[in-house]
Amino acid sequence: MKIREEVKGEKFSISSDYKGDKCWGGEGNHKQPQNYHDHKVTISRPGHRVSFDFWGSIINPKIRTAAELRFAVYCFVSDAASGRMEFEEFCSEFGYDSDSIKAMNTWQACRKSTKKCDRMFSAKQQDVILAEWQ
């Protein structure tokens, strides 16, 4: 699926490719699908392109509509906003133990999203997406 969107006067192309189940962890035959219904979502505009993984739900595994694709971008921008928090604030906001490796890994993943998001969208564009695309 591919759509064109405009945010604060700038046009973007957003596409999604369904990749199926994604195996994480383990070696060889011990790899098990741990995340289901993986999509590669790509946002592009002249001179800029970012991609991220998005997982569909069990009930709605594939992105089929423009609204669902916009929601995937909304989730990406929301994760990026969370990555702007200090680690302690992030843990408090989302109920993580600040002494948790899982919390640290999740926060670091959000910080990676922050860098990608900032390459694609201005702060005002991110605000519009968070306010209007949910």
Note down pLDDT in tens along the chain; length 134 residues.
899 999 999 999 999 999 887 665 555 555 555 667 889 999 999 999 999 999 887 788 889 999 999 999 999 999 999 999 999 999 999 999 999 999 999 999 999 999 999 999 999 999 999 999 98
Residues 8, 103: Cα–Cα separation, whole Å? 34
Range of the domain at 118: 2-132
Confidence (pLDDT) at 5: 95
> The tokens of 80 are what?
């990026």
Least Cα distance to 107 among 71, 124, 81, 83 occurs for 83
Structural domain total, the chain: 1
Residue 34 burial (CB < 10 Å; 0-12/13-18/19+)? exposed
Confidence (pLDDT) at 28: 55
Total residue count of the chain as it appears in this document: 134
